[in-house]
C-alpha cells in the first residue's frame, strides 16, 4: 500500500498520542485464516453466529453448540497470529500507555504478545489484550464458575454441572469489570485505533467514540467511518505494520 497522505497523517497521530486504545474485531484475524462473523466463510453448516452464540441455543442443543465451538477451537489452534497482531503487540510492548482491547475470542493477540515479549525480553502483560467477549480456548462451569483451560469432558470436575465455552453470548452481559475497564481506558485515550470490526456489536462498538481521536483500519466502510478522524481503507496485515 503506497504511503498515502492519510497513512502519513495516521502515523504521526499514532506517534504523538500518549495513551492509545487499540480496539480489534474479527477482521484483524482474517489474514490468519480465521473466518469473520459477517463476511464470507463466517457460516458453519448454514448457521449464522447469532443463532448459535446464544444461551437459548445452548439450552436447546448444547451438543450442537459445543460441536461449533470445538470446530472453531481446532481451527484457531491451527492458525498463527499475523503481521497485524505482531505489530500491535510490539506497539504495546515498546511504549507505555497502549492497551489492546479485543472483541475476538480466538486468543491470537495473546499468542502474539507472548511471542513478541519473548523476542523483546519484555514483560508480556503490557501486550496482553483485554478480552471483552472471553476466549473459546477456555471453558467454564455453568454452575460453580470453575474455569478450565483446554478441557475435553463436558461436565465440571468439581460439581458435575455442564461446562460451556468461556465466551459472552448475544443477550448476555459482559463482565462488568472488563467492560468498565475498557470504557475507562477509552475515555482516557488520546487515540482509539479501530482495526477490523464492523462496529455493530455493542457495547464494544461504543468504545471508539469515547476516545479523543479515532483511526479506523478496514477494507470496507463501517458505521464508524463517517465519524473517524482518519479511515484507512485496507487490510490489517497490510496497513497496521505501516502505522506502527
Instruction: Check if 109 is active-site.
Output: no
Nearer CB in complex with ligand BV8: 34/117: 34
Residue 172 binding target from ligand BV8, Zn ion, none, CB below 5 to 8 Å by type: ligand BV8
CB burial string 207-216: b at 16+ within 10 A, e below: bbebbebbbb
Kindly indicate which of the ranges 27-35, 84-92, 140-148, 203-211 contains the residues binding Zn ion, using the contact rule CB under 5 A: 140-148
List, in order, residues 6 or more apart from 26 with CB less than 8 Å away: 34, 35, 36, 37, 39, 42, 103, 104, 196, 197
What is the C-alpha to C-alpha distance for residues 231 and 19, in angstroms, rounded to an integer? 19
Backbone angles phi, psi at 77, to 5 degrees: -70, -20
Q: Which of 85, 86, 109, 133 is catalytic?
A: 133
**To the nearest whole angstrom, how small is the minimum distance from the Cβ of residue 26 to ligand BV8?**
3
Chain centre distance of CA 177 = 17
List, in order, residues 6 or more apart from 41 with CB less than 8 Å away: 35
**Rule CB under 5 A: is residue 159 a binding residue for Zn ion?**
yes
The four Cα atoms 203, 80, 129, 106 give a dihedral, to 10 degrees, of 40
Residue 111 binding target from ligand BV8, Zn ion, none, CB below 5 to 8 Å by type: none
Coil vs helix vs strand at 41: coil
Nearer CB in complex with Zn ion: 137/156: 156
Residue 141 binding target from ligand BV8, Zn ion, none, CB below 5 to 8 Å by type: Zn ion
Under the rule (CB under 6 A), what is the footprint of ligand BV8? 25-27, 30-31, 36-39, 42, 50, 53, 103-105, 133, 167-173, 196-198, 200-202, 218-220, 222, 235-236
Kindly indicate which of the ranges 71-79, 81-89, 159-167, 168-176 contains the residues binding Zn ion, using the contact rule CB under 5 A: 159-167
Nearer CB in complex with Zn ion: 37/66: 66
Nearer CB in complex with ligand BV8: 117/237: 237
Residue 26 binding target from Zn ion, ligand BV8, none, CB below 5 to 8 Å by type: ligand BV8
**Rule CB under 5 A: is residue 154 a binding residue for Zn ion?**
no
- Listed as own residue / partner, the contacts of 162-166 with beta carbons closer than 8 Å and 24 or more positions apart are 162/62, 163/139, 164/58, 164/62, 164/139, 164/140, 165/65, 165/66, 165/69, 165/134, 165/136, 165/138, 165/139, 165/140, 166/134, 166/135, 166/136, 166/138, 166/139, 166/140
Length of the chain counted residue by residue: 244
Residue 144 binding target from ligand BV8, Zn ion, none, CB below 5 to 8 Å by type: Zn ion
**Rule CB under 5 A: is residue 144 a binding residue for Zn ion?**
yes
* Chosen residue from 89, 93, 141, 244 binding Zn ion by CB under 5 A: 141
Catalytic residues: 133
Contact set with Zn ion (CB under 5 A): 141, 143-144, 146, 156, 158-159, 161
Amino acid at each position: 500500500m503506497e504511503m498515502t497522505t492519510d497513512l502519513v497523517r495516521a502515523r504521526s497521530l499514532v506517534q504523538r498520542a500518549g495513551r492509545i486504545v487499540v480496539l480489534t474485531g474479527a477482521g484483524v484475524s482474517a489474514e490468519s485464516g480465521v473466518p469473520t462473523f459477517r463476511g464470507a466463510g463466517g457460516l458453519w453448516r448454514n448457521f449464522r453466529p447469532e443463532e448459535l452464540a446464544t444461551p437459548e441455543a445452548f439450552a436447546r442443543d448444547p451438543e450442537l453448540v459445543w460441536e461449533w465451538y470445538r470446530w472453531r477451537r481446532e481451527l484457531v489452534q491451527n492458525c498463527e497470529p499475523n503481521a497485524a497482531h505482531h505489530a500491535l503487540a510490539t506497539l504495546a510492548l515498546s511504549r507505555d500507555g497502549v492497551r489492546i482491547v479485543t472483541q475476538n475470542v480466538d486468543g491470537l493477540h495473546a499468542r502474539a504478545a507472548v511471542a513478541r515479549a519473548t523476542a523483546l525480553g519484555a514483560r508480556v502483560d503490557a501486550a496482553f489484550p483485554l478480552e471483552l467477549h472471553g476466549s473459546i480456548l477456555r471453558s467454564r462451569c455453568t454452575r460453580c464458575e470453575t474455569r478450565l483451560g483446554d478441557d475435553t469432558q463436558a461436565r465440571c470436575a468439581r460439581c458435575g454441572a455442564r461446562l460451556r465455552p468461556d465466551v459472552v453470548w448475544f443477550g448476555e452481559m459482559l463482565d462488568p469489570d472488563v467492560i468498565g475497564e475498557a470504557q475507562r481506558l477509552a475515555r482516557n485515550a488520546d487515540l482509539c485505533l479501530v482495526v477490523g470490526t464492523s462496529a455493530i456489536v455493542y457495547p464494544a462498538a461504543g468504545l471508539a467514540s469515547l476516545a479523543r481521536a479515532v483511526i479506523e483500519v478496514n477494507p470496507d466502510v463501517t458505521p464508524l467511518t463517517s465519524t473517524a478522524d482518519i479511515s484507512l481503507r485496507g487490510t490489517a496485515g497490510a496497513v497496521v505494520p505501516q502505522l506502527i
